[in-house]
């Protein structure tokens, strides 16, 4: 099936919202639907459209994988509650850390997270809920990347461990399939979502695990989480496309209060980019870099080194994993 793109310029926002709400309401009818919210702009827009179309007949879950930023699950759930949308947070930290135990290879880490999310956690919720309709935030770019072989096949049925042949009757609704990110951001604004959501800088699916080199343990995620909070606080006004902290695997010798302190290394990246396909490092002021190094080493126990990455993408990538 050929999917026709609707560009930002061509989109009639009000009509698009009305049409999608009607489509979802008609398809689901008297049944129920389910979706997973991550707080990213795509899943947030799908949640709002689904909620407007179905009200309580839509069950929305936030999967707490233990890899999100400080208080992120609670903050997202609270924001949606303020908008009148109930979100259930599902604690799946043990499943994710269990699957990540001992895994150091970047692709295996990503695979472990994908499998845990779709098969072990969300797949089970779908089956348990009895809902036959699933709302998903796939966008036009995802399809393009699948066709180009850049990303794994976007086949939600297979990902949630459901054989459509066997379980005929499941229906996946993808209301954003014809849109790219700028159009989705526009919809988010029109649907009354707050600016932190429609202007949210990109955040990777594997969350902070994409920023931990080496084994992803609760302790190591906590270090990168604290560094992320500092980096986001200091760089949110920089106007950069994306900024992040990475925890290195190697430890280095430092000195604290006159004593040797063998500790962790944090790398900061701050990117100028328009679409994440290429990027260059932001020319941050030395004073700002100095402040970041001071805060990270004094506020996070065990961190003795902070570096700033000056590489372009390519050959670097935005994330480390």
Q: Residue 10: helix, strand or coil by DSSP?
A: coil
Q: Which is nearer to ligand XMP, 28 or 99 (CB)?
A: 99
106: contact with ligand XMP by CB under 6 A: no
Alpha helices in 116-236 (DSSP H): 123-129, 140-147, 156-159, 181-190, 195-198, 218-235
Q: What is the dihedral of CA 307, 311, 316, 321, to 10 degrees?
A: 10
29: contact with ligand XMP by CB under 6 A: no
Minimum CB distance to ligand XMP, residue 127 (Å):
24
73: contact with ligand XMP by CB under 6 A: no
206: contact with ligand XMP by CB under 6 A: yes
Please state, as a whole number, how many other Cβ atoms lie within 10 Å of the Cβ of residue 159: 18
The binder of ligand XMP chosen from 210, 230, 292, 300 (CB under 6 A) = 210
Q: For the packed helices 218-235 and 286-299, what is the interaxial angle rounded to 10 degrees?
A: 150
Q: For the packed helices 106-115 and 93-100, what is the interaxial angle rounded to 10 degrees?
A: 150
143: contact with ligand XMP by CB under 6 A: no
Cα gap 201→179, rounded to integer Å: 18
205: contact with ligand XMP by CB under 6 A: yes
Minimum CB distance to ligand XMP, residue 312 (Å):
11
Query: Residue 315: is the preceding peptide bond cis (ω within 30°)?
Result: yes
Strand partners, 279: 313
276: contact with ligand XMP by CB under 6 A: yes
Minimum CB distance to ligand XMP, residue 283 (Å):
20
313: contact with ligand XMP by CB under 6 A: yes
The binder of ligand XMP chosen from 194, 202, 218, 302 (CB under 6 A) = 202
Q: Which residue has the tokens 């009200």?
A: 55
Please state, as a whole number, how many other Cβ atoms lie within 10 Å of the Cβ of residue 316: 16
39: contact with ligand XMP by CB under 6 A: no
Q: Which is nearer to ligand XMP, 44 or 242 (CB)?
A: 242
Minimum CB distance to ligand XMP, residue 8 (Å):
19
Q: Which residue has the tokens 């790219």?
A: 180
Minimum CB distance to ligand XMP, residue 14 (Å):
28
Minimum CB distance to ligand XMP, residue 181 (Å):
10
In the complex, which residues of this chain contact ligand XMP (CB under 6 A)? 202, 204-206, 210, 242, 276, 313, 317-319
């Amino acid at each position: 099936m050929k999917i026709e793109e609707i560009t930002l310029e061509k989109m009639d926002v009000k009509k698009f919202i009305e049409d999608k709400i009607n489509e979802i309401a008609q398809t689901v009818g008297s049944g129920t639907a389910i979706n997973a919210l991550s707080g990213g702009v795509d899943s947030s827009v799908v949640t709002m459209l689904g909620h407007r179309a179905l009200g309580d007949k839509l069950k929305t879950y936030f999967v707490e994988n233990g890899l999100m930023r400080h208080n992120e699950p609670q903050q997202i759930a609270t924001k949606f509650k303020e908008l009148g949308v109930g979100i259930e947070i599902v604690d799946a930290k043990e499943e994710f850390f269990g699957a990540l135990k001992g895994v150091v290879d970047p692709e295996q880490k990503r695979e472990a997270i994908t499998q845990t999310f779709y098969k072990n956690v969300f797949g089970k919720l779908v089956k348990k809920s009895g809902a036959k309709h699933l709302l998903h935030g796939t966008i036009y770019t995802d399809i393009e990347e699948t066709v180009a072989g850049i990303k794994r096949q976007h086949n939600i049925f297979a990902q949630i461990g459901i054989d459509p042949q066997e379980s005929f009757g499941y229906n996946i609704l993808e209301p954003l399939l014809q849109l790219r990110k700028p159009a989705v951001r526009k919809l988010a604004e029109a649907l009354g979502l707050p600016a932190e959501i429609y202007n949210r800088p990109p955040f990777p699916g594997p969350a902070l695990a994409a920023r931990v080199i080496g084994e992803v343990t609760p302790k190591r995620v906590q270090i990168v989480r604290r560094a992320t909070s500092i980096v986001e606080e200091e760089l949110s006004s920089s106007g950069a496309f994306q900024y992040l902290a990475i925890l290195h695997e190697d430890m280095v010798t430092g000195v604290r209060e006159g004593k040797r302190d063998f500790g962790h290394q944090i790398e900061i990246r701050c990117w100028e980019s328009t679409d994440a396909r290429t990027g260059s490092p932001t020319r941050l002021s030395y004073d700002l870099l100095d402040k970041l190094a001071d805060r990270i080493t004094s506020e996070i126990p065990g961190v003795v080194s902070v570096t700033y990455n000056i590489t372009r993408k390519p050959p670097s990538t935005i994330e480390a994993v």
